[in-house]
Amino acid sequence: MDTTAQHSTVRERPQASTPRLTLSGISKSFPGVRALHDVSLSLYPGQVTALIGENGAGKSTLVKIMTGIYQPDAGAISIDGQAVTLPSAHAAFGHGITAIHQETVLFDDLSVAENIFLGHAPRTRFKTIDWRTMRKNAKEVLDTMGAGHIDADARLKDLGIANKHLVAVARAMSIDARIVIMDEPTAALSMKEIEELFLLIEFLKSEGKAILFISHKFDEIYRIADRYTVFRDGEMVGEGMIKDAGQSQIVRMMVGRSVDHIFPQRQAAIGATVLTVSGLSHPTEFDDIGFELHRGEILGFYGLVGAGRSEVMQAISGITRTAKGTITLEGKPIAPKSAADSIEAGIVYVPEERGKQGVVIGLPIFQNVSLPSLTRTSKSGILRLAEEFALARAFTERLDLRASSLSQDVGTLSGGNQQKIVIAKWLATAPKVIILDEPTKGIDIGSKAAVHGFMAELVAQGLSVIMVSSELPEILGMSDRVVVMREGRIASVYDNKELDAETLVRTAAGIAA
Amino acid sequence: MTDTPAPRHIPDRLDKPLSSAIFSWEALLVVVAIAIFAINSFASPYFLDPWSLSDLTFNFTEKALIAFAMALLIISGEIDLSVAAIIALASTMMGMAVQAGAGTPVLVAIGILVGLGCGAFNGLLVTRLGLPSIVVTIGTMSLFRGIAFIILGDQAYKGYPASFAFFGQGYVWWVVSFELVLFAVAAIIYWFVLHRTSFGRRVFAIGNNSIAAQFSGVRVDRIKFILFCLTGLMSGIASVLITSRLGSTRPSIAQGYELEAITMVVLGGVSILGGAGSILGVVLAAFIMGLVTFGLGLLNVPGIVMSIFIGLLLIIVIALPILWRRLRGGR
Amino acid sequence: ENVKIALVVKSLGNGFFDAANKGAEEAAKELGDVDIIYTGPTKATAEAQIEVVNSLIAQKVNAIAISANDADALVPALKKAMERGITVISWDSGVAPEGRQLHLNPSDTGLIGETIIKLAADYLPEGGDVAILSASSTATNQNAWIDAAKKILPEKFPKINLVATVYGDDDSAKSTDEAKGLLKSYPNLKAIIAPTTVGVVAAAQVVTDENLIGKVNVTGLALPSEFKKFIDNGSSQAVALWNPIDLGYSAVYLAHDLAVKKEEAKPGATLSIGRVGKVTLDDTNSAAMAPPFQFDKTNIEKFSKIY
Amino acid sequence: MKAFLKYREIWLLAAIAVLIGLISTRFPGFADPANLRQVFNDTSILMILALGQMVVILTRSIDLSMASNLCFTGMVVAMLNAALPAIPIPLLIVVALLVGLVLGAINGFLVWRLNIPSIVVTLGTLTIYRGATFVISGGAWVNADQMSPDFIGFQRAAFLGIPVLSWIALLVIALFFLLMTRTALGRSIYAIGVNPTASVYAGIDVGRTKFVVFCISGMIGGLAGYLWISRYVIASVEVANGYELNIIAACVIGGISIAGGIGSVGGAVLGALFLGIISNALPVINISPFWQMAISGSAIILAVVLNARGERRQGRIILKKAETA
Ligand SMILES: Nc1ncnc2c1ncn2[C@@H]1O[C@H](COP(=O)(O)OP(=O)(O)OP(=O)(O)O)[C@@H](O)[C@H]1O
Ligand SMILES: Nc1ncnc2c1ncn2[C@@H]1O[C@H](COP(=O)(O)OP(=O)(O)OP(=O)(O)O)[C@@H](O)[C@H]1O
Ligand SMILES: [Mg+2]
Ligand SMILES: [Mg+2]
């Protein structure tokens, strides 16, 4: 597989009407879960097909089947009309299938060039790795993508998240892929990076690649996709050209009912100051952060990815300890030294990295939910299971969790349903201030509405919410005020009444109006 | 807004098929234990004798005491290879105290406190400096025993008071030794702590995902520190027992106990990767190891051949459920 | 009903003890009504040996003859055996008096101490530096011999200068490191005395490798079959040992006589041991079998075929 | 220069230099090239073993059975040599490699096919292989007298003034260097350690790579088996008992992260040298034998603490000001 091949652009561009890849009758079950049942899907060269479905509908499972990581229980796969089997990820590469998976799947301690070429590095005459050519090719691939600013020799861990995404894409392109799959590539990105990604997708389209695009964001789907396929509960329930379908029609297909996602109308009843942060500083991450949060308020935090919002929130909630400055809760200064301290004080932080920081895979759902509230559900250190179940039931049903039982391991839930667990477990601690970091990252439209509705309800009860989000509509639709951060400092604070998207993006990027 | 349908009800538990209970780890261990017991009774006429069975328990009680604490530590994702060295150091300190004329209560206190101190030292290195425990305890393993060597050199301490002999040699009632009683009590305490308290729950949470546990308000470092202290404490107690049983101290005491304790824990179904395990499993594993070594001992099988059986047992017992699942799953 | 006698050794898989077992079987045949159980632990530790003793108690053997890994640690277990009516003797490496009825030393401790120094001194008429490479620092018998050697040194061998005692833990690699260390630290070293088989082989190999044959003499206690090569190549002039076959033979003989109450172990008693002769018990109920026997170029060929 | 200092190996090298310097103050001859050559030769076996262990640790696994493998294979070749002294040594080395390979493959197979954690598998085979040594030998030793002169002499023969043992070590180092930096397998080994999930997605067969890695450590164990036995001229069940921890300690001191993915051939070699120098020097600088264990224990702890400092992640820096500072 040589990387120069991609320069001979559109080599053979078959009729757009003949699919490049066809899946038919695919079924896949996990112990106790039927993830996919008799689904079919076609991808066409030079076209973007959007795969749409609720959390747990089976999208990622299908991706893993297409990339040879899972084997289907039944069904057939064909590429350019030829039946193929994909017994391993390597085999999928061989057929030109490549994917940007939902989870980060790169190698932090390896160089950019290695990340791009791992598994198919150029060889010398003696079959040893040819580092020179590899670096050269890596540069070329990055250049063609317009990502020439990334140093091919840099360690991946030294890159920002957006650049990491670019590396993932570069890897996909280096394989001379004919089929590119992107599973929620935009979930962790903010506007600017999403725009860059879309340019790339256009580029890939022009190269004649068949693209599968998975996202829960309809604006993106309408912008970039040519076709759509909808899954519900592991079954294919509809497909067609995107221009022929309206959003409500698609949503009805995917949820089985109509969901009109309008942000909840709230009567902002903003009260006294609850939390005051001033002069909060960290040697390398942020400097002189100061703001106030009121009772019944939703305070949005906007910024480009990597602006340092999460770091500030983690300092407020005692997880990062090296902060200078003062935090005052209800008039009393607090200095949390751990998450336990801040939870006790009444501030909870709902982290953004679900898999790493949010859920404890290996423990059942109810134990995950009760974990931060254990002091309440236990009596002098002795567990009371009935209380734990009651707590878990109350909060998971509220968020419309899809699970077969509360004793199920959270690891077997889909990404979006795991996110619901994450929100449920911290809400269950009955806090005064709740900090939500990217609360709806990767969750489907129905659940998103549930989360938003729930947030509105919380503030109506007198809680205060800080919501870190990179999603503009969410920021604009939910916040009372918005703090914009740039490079570790507060750039500006806006009242939502005077706000429009453009101002926010400009402030965040540091471009003068 | 959304037209919200009634939320789906999620049951607390699904009724598990009977087969999954039958093929649980503990059940497998019970079967293995019974099988070995039966084989032993057949193979040797001396096995089914109350005093033999009582002697048998001495083969595992001390190691099992350590194994209980080690089980918690391993469930939390850490490990302690220095336990045997802690025994040596604690025993040496007790020996020094005897030399200085200390009585039995003081000796016991010294043994336990030294164990606790060593455990705390491990715990500090691991939690404060964020070092991997397997590496730290390889180091402290040499350090602790090394200190015992520095103190004792080629000498031995003996002359423990007669009352001190009770802990490792005494019987509470008929053939029931003090060690066995202590083993049973410790098993119950550890079972309760691990499976019935919020502390135990947090240990499981840490083992499965320590970062998420930390974000959820679990004081991860504190709990890990406590677990290292507990392991040190149990090693200290084991040191009292073994010193009393041997009636003397040398720096080479309890050599190789760490691997036997860990084998017991793993055989008991505790995941070496952390996050899963039960005390019942460890108890059963302790009995199995005692039964195997004693049974083979009665047949005068050389010790080294016995260790082949233990090694095979370890791998087979762990492989069986995997193979079984694979056969049933058809893959 | 045969008399069951367990011959418990420090660890199985050691040529010395295998030879002792030969002697034990010989005694059993001679005595007629004896079954020998030859056993020992995985590792040469007291704890492991206690497990072995416990299983022997359960088997209701008539006598235990043990070469102990630790003089004190085994006492409680062996006491328990005696309480249950089992005759207990120690041989080779002893147990404290309260843990056994008698102890059969392979030879007189003082004599062994003297012999290991003499082996070196015989080939150093001018005198000079020597060093001791022992087994583990906790080995009872080795330590006793070394103490005896140190005691006798000033009076009998004034020209011999003992510069160091190091421990190789009966581990080839460690013994090799220590032997090399000795040669480096003491350039004038004339002899290395290793009263342990693993150590003596390691030292002789080091001397061979460093081309010091003729300059440094290796000596100590060694089984002829395992050491012949180094007598042959000259890295060692002579080593000594007692006859392990006789030792095993005697241990079983004594254990049998005590078990069937033919003899009684008390200070001053003289007990007969078949073809080996007679021994007399001292105040601690210990007896020495025979003086160490010396092997050199003249006789190693013959003995290496026997043990 | 700064980039240069980033490498852990440089620091380790400096530490070794300081160590040699310190020893020289108490024992002047220590830093002589002749003596250092000898130290290298004395450490060769540990270096070879550490390299074999390194590839295993890099994949987030561990091989506790290496010393037992060494013992078993050593016994096999010693018995072969005793029975059939005519077998030429190179052939015997091939036998050692093959026997080691089989033992390693057993570990690898259990890890790969049954998905049992490697620490459990090798904890089991640690006792099984040593027990098997007892079974095949009946507990008897093979001693110097039974070994052929070639068997003992091979590694001692000098070539260009350097013993064959050292040459073998150099060859193994070179091979591992090639393996780790120039081959796809080497890169896969790193990748698996850095991120196993991502490796699956990148088309690496994680299970099979682990199998291969255990085969490598097995072969190394086998090779070391012959070298060990012919060096110390006794084959017994007790050979290298407990040595697995020395091997791991060498890797750890050499900066190989027990969490996988981080470490280099140079690190493993230097880590082994560091331990080798300590065990070589302690006897010559007149330190009481009873202090040795505590000293090497402290050295390990110290090395880990220092390594951890180097490894501490430099978080990504958001503030511009701090970046330039
Ligand atoms: N390894 C697994 N073991 C058991 N069940 C699984 C596993 N992986 C996925 N599932 C189940 O399969 C179903 C489909 O999951 P999948 O991850 O494909 O959903 P998804 O459509 O990608 O959802 P999301 O939008 O949340 O990412 C879910 O019910 C999930 O719980
Ligand atoms: N260089 C990087 N390497 C790894 N992860 C990164 C990097 N930069 C950003 N990220 C990840 O991207 C996410 C956002 O980064 P960060 O928390 O620093 O900024 P933020 O302003 O809080 O952004 P967000 O609002 O998206 O959380 C986090 O999950 C963070 O771990
Ligand atoms: Mg998904
Ligand atoms: Mg963030």
Domain boundaries, chain D: 7-324
**Domain D7-324 of CATH type 3.90.1690:** no
Residue A453, domain extent:
272-509
Q: Which of B139, B154, B271 is closest, CB to CB, to D300? A: B139
Over 70: is that where the pLDDT of A5 sits? no
User: What CA–CA distance (Å, rounded) separates B169 from D78?
Assistant: 45
pLDDT of residue B277: 93
Please tell me the residue having the least CA distance from ligand 2 atom 12.
A161
Exposure b/e, A63-101, CB count within 10 A at least 16 = b: bbbbbbbbebbebebebbeeebebebbeebbbbbbbbbb
Exposed/middle/buried for residue D291 (C-beta within 10 Å: 0-12, 13-18, 19+): middle
User: What CA–CA distance (Å, rounded) separates D22 from D17?
Assistant: 9
Exposure b/e, A197-230, CB count within 10 A at least 16 = b: beebbeebbebbbbbbbbbbbeebbbebbbbbbb
In a domain, A337, yes or no: yes
User: What CA–CA distance (Å, rounded) separates A142 from A170?
Assistant: 6
User: What CA–CA distance (Å, rounded) separates A60 from A35?
Assistant: 10
Provide the ipTM: 0.87
Of A255, A283, A308, the residue at which a domain comes to its end is A255
In a domain, A62, yes or no: yes
* Strand ranges, E, within A54-157: 74-79, 82-84, 97-100
Of C141, C7, A411, nearest to B302 by C-alpha is C7
* A327-370: pLDDT as tens digits: 999 999 999 999 999 999 999 999 988 888 999 999 999 999 99
Q: Are residues A460 and A319 in the same domain?
A: yes
Q: Are residues A192 and A121 in the same domain?
A: yes
Q: Are residues A214 and A311 in the same domain?
A: no
In a domain, A2, yes or no: no
Q: Determine whether the interchain pair D187/A109 forms a contact, defined as Cβ–Cβ distance below 8 Å.
A: no
Is residue A140 in contact with ligand 2, taking CB distance under 6 Å?
A: no
Residue C164 distance to chain D (closest CA, Å): 9
Per-residue pLDDT of chain D (325 residues; tens, 9 = 90+): 445 555 678 888 888 898 899 888 888 888 888 889 989 999 999 999 999 999 999 999 999 999 999 999 999 999 999 999 999 999 999 999 999 999 999 999 999 999 899 999 999 999 999 999 999 998 888 988 889 989 998 889 888 889 999 999 999 999 999 999 989 899 999 999 988 888 888 888 999 999 999 999 999 999 999 999 999 998 988 889 889 989 999 998 888 988 888 899 999 999 999 989 888 888 887 777 778 888 888 988 888 887 776 655 555 566 664 444 3
Q: Which of A104, A110, A487 is closest, CB to CB, to D320? A: A487
Q: Which of A60, A217, A420, A443 to mutate to test the pocket of ligand 1 (most atoms within 8 A of CB)?
A: A60
Q: What average pLDDT does range A497-501 have in this prediction?
A: 82
Over 70: is that where the pLDDT of C170 sits? yes
Distance (angstroms) between ligand 4 centre and the Cα of A289 equals 16
Residue in chain B nearest C59 by alpha carbon: B46
pLDDT of residue A369: 94
How crowded is residue B323: how many other Cβ atoms within 10 Å of its Cβ?
12
* Ligand 2: nearest atom to the Cα of A313: 22
Contacts of B204 in chain A (CB under 8 A): 362-363, 367
pLDDT category of residue A259 using cuts at 50, 70 and 90: low
Nearest ligand, measured from the Cα of A312:
2
Q: Which CATH number fits domain B49-321: 1.10.3720.10, 2.60.40.1120, 1.10.3470.10, 2.60.40.10?
A: 1.10.3470.10
Nearest ligand, measured from the Cα of A415:
1
Is residue A67 within 8 Å of residue A115, measured between CB atoms?
Answer: no
Q: Which of A191, A305, A474, A486 to mutate to test the pocket of ligand 2 (most atoms within 8 A of CB)?
A: A305
- How many residues does the structure list for chain B? 331
User: What are the Cα distances from residue C156, in Å, to A219, C115, C118, C159?
Assistant: 103, 11, 9, 9
pTM: 0.89
In a domain, A195, yes or no: yes
* C77-132: pLDDT as tens digits: 999 999 999 999 999 888 989 999 999 988 888 888 999 999 899 888 888 999 99
- In chain B, which stretches have pLDDT less than 50? 1-5, 330-331
Give A278's strand partners.
A326
Contacts of A114 in chain D (CB under 8 A): 187
pLDDT of residue C275: 85
Over 80: is that where the pLDDT of A13 sits? no
Q: Are residues A323 and A422 in the same domain?
A: yes
Residue in chain B nearest A315 by alpha carbon: B215
Query: What's C221's DSSP letter?
Result: B
Q: What average pLDDT does range A385-394 have in this prediction?
A: 92
Q: Are residues A231 and A301 in the same domain?
A: no
Does residue C104 sit in helix, strand or coil?
strand
In a domain, A3, yes or no: no
Q: Could you tell me which residues come within 8 angstroms of residue A325 by beta carbon, excluding any fewer than 6 positions away? A: A277, A278, A279, A280, A281, A288, A289, A290
Of A417, A296, A438, A432, nearest to A368 by C-alpha is A417
Over 60: is that where the pLDDT of C247 sits? yes
Q: Are residues A69 and A146 in the same domain?
A: yes
User: What CA–CA distance (Å, rounded) separates A388 from A377?
Assistant: 6
User: What CA–CA distance (Å, rounded) separates D66 from D152?
Assistant: 22
In a domain, A302, yes or no: yes
pLDDT of residue A9: 41
Please tell me the residue having the least CA distance from ligand 1 atom 8.
A412
Q: What average pLDDT does range A276-286 have in this prediction?
A: 90
Secondary structure (DSSP) of A359-428: --TTSBHHHHHHGGGHHHHEETTEE-HHHHHHHHHHHHHHTT---S-TTSBGGGS-HHHHHHHHHHHHHT
Give me the CATH number covering residue A290: 3.40.50.300
What is the count of structural domains for chain A?
Answer: 2
Chain D contact probe: residue of A95, A101, A110 with most D CBs at under 10 A: A110
Q: Are residues A324 and A437 in the same domain?
A: yes
Domain boundaries, chain B: 49-321
Q: Determine whether the interchain pair A129/D184 forms a contact, defined as Cβ–Cβ distance below 8 Å.
A: yes
Q: What average pLDDT does range C13-23 have in this prediction?
A: 86
